[in-house]
Amino acid sequence: MLLNEQDSQLILIDYQDRLMPSLHEGPSCIQNALRLTKTASAMHIPIWGVEQNPEKLGPNHAELKSYCSKTLNKMSFSAVADGLLDWLVPPQRPKSGNARSLPKHLQKNDDAPQMQRPSLVLAGCEAHVCLMQTALELLDNEIEVWVVTDACTSRTERNRDAAFDRLAGSGAELLTTEMVLFEWLKNADHPSFKLVQSLIK
């Protein structure tokens, strides 16, 4: 299964100014996140940000944040617990009908809200805490989760890698920044091909 540009949304988790200096390979992680956001922006892929307790940890990296449509401030480690799904799934339409409508147990649930772009591409920090808990809750909601491993980090490699092991075992797709970019492109005729080429050189 390949990632599809038309089905994707990008979620950037906790790339916060006061957190990044203490993380393993933090600058490289930020650079890969920027490659993702610049490409997603050029392809009109929705980009969302998440910040953990920004009063204490500061805002997300300024350039990354500038690409986000909205940024969710949260106190829970999982962004789902603090309302991320409300942004990703359109509000449910009010039910219509009359006194002769079918009883509830015979009605089809066709009006249940559906995510218009169901492939959630996650990148962020810390991999074994906020990123992992967000991803696991999305998976619990039967949502397709793709984790960009080289745009994720933790304070230690062991914690980061343990998160990847657990996520893979739970059904998340693990991939790298370049895998995401070239799967979004599909071919060298894509209008964003030269941009991607310049970003990875």
Mind listing the pLDDT tens digit for each residue in 76-135? 999 999 999 988 876 555 455 554 555 544 454 445 456 789 999 999 999 999 999 999
Nearest to 120 by CA among 172, 73, 170, 82: 172
CB atoms within 10 A of CB 2: 9
Ordered by start, the domain boundaries in the chain are 5-87+115-200
Give the Å distances, CA to CA, from 169 to 146, 172, 174: 13, 7, 10
Nearest to 15 by CA among 122, 144, 133, 161: 122
State which CATH number among 3.40.50.850, 3.40.50.300, 3.40.50.12160, 1.20.5.440 fits the domain covering 5-87+115-200.
Answer: 3.40.50.850
Alpha carbons 74 and 56: distance in angstroms, whole number: 12
Q: Which residue has the higher pLDDT, 95 or 40?
A: 40
